[in-house]
Amino acid sequence: MFCQYGFKRNSAGCEICECLSPPEIECPPVRCRMYCKHGYKTDVNGCEICECQSPPEIECPPVRCRMYCEHGYKTNVNGCEICECQSAPEIECPPVRCRMYCEHGYKTDVNGCEICECQSPPEIECPPVRCRMYCEHGYKTDVNGCEICECQSPPECSPIICSMYCEHGFTTDNNGCPKCECRPYPAICGDNIPACHLHCEDGFEVDENNCPLCQCKGKKTFS
């Protein structure tokens, strides 16, 4: 047989078939500035050295969670997943180097970083204009494009040369300038008179503003 530390001897000094015990070794103290949670490794003599032991292998139970975590689950002290979501990683966005100015800011990518595209203006729901005045050329608008109780100035139009008299004034073109054509109804009625399929021999009834209604004067109605 092989004895690492040699054979024992009898009283006569002769070797006998028994192995010597390993010598007792006095280990020096470990002078390490690091903390090892699972202790230090040892050398061939069983003395501790300045190397940390690896953590013991732990068999983690499967995570049974009904929630989805985009960035994965948190782990406990043993490195096993638990039913808590990891926080989104902090992303350092590069500065936006754009030569254009965006009034409502830049759009962002999937990481929340700004890109060289302008945000669309926010959709604003304008309140209805409650004004008792009539504005021939429409109302002015505020910074959001919503109408306010102020009349638009009349457009700058070329002078009209027209020899006919129109009781309700002249009609206007797309720019709001008068044409040599009579308005059939007062300006307050607007240009979009509701379509009416009645044929009225004596004309239509009118409302308090003298605007036509889809109703015949008298009783003679032909459809």
Task: List the pLDDT tens digit at each of the 223 positions of the chain.
Answer: 888 878 888 888 888 888 888 777 788 888 888 888 888 999 888 888 999 988 878 888 888 888 899 889 999 888 889 999 998 888 888 888 888 888 889 999 988 889 999 998 888 888 888 888 888 778 899 888 899 999 988 778 888 888 888 888 888 887 778 888 888 888 777 655 667 778 888 888 888 877 888 888 876 545 4
Give this prediction's pTM: 0.27
**Residue 100 phi, psi (nearest 5):** -100, 150
Q: What number of residues does the chain have?
A: 223
Q: With contact defined as beta carbons under 8 Å apart, do 122 and 104 qualify?
A: yes
Integer Cα distance of 140 and 12 in angstroms: 126
